[in-house]
């Protein structure tokens, strides 16, 4: 089986958009890495920002992929 349970087959435009978002996320995370190297940031708050950015991008990707609930063996 080569599919992920709960995920639909993505169209070409959806894949392109998700890949663009992933690249945007990577650029942002690298900016955070640069800020850490300066020693001029509060690492706790930077970690909080990083977590929120990651959650935001994950939500954006999910908004495009639109995963659904799956059936389990124990379901009637």
Per-residue pLDDT of 12-41, as tens digits, reads: 999 999 999 999 999 999 999 999 999 999
In the prediction, which pLDDT does 8 show? 87
Distance in angstroms (rounded) separating the CA atoms of residues 31 and 22: 14
- Specify whether the CB–CB gap between 63 and 14 falls below 8 A: no
Q: What is the pTM of this model?
A: 0.84
State the DSSP code for 9.
P
Distance in angstroms (rounded) separating the CA atoms of residues 22 and 47: 19
């Amino acid at each position: 089986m080569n599919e992920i349970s709960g995920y639909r087959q993505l169209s070409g435009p959806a894949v392109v958009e998700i890949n663009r978002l992933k690249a945007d996320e990577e650029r942002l995370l690298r900016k955070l890495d640069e800020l850490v190297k300066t020693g001029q940031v509060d690492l706790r708050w930077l970690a909080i920002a990083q977590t929120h950015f990651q959650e935001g991008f994950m939500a954006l990707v999910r908004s495009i992929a639109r995963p659904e609930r799956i059936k389990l063996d124990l379901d009637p």
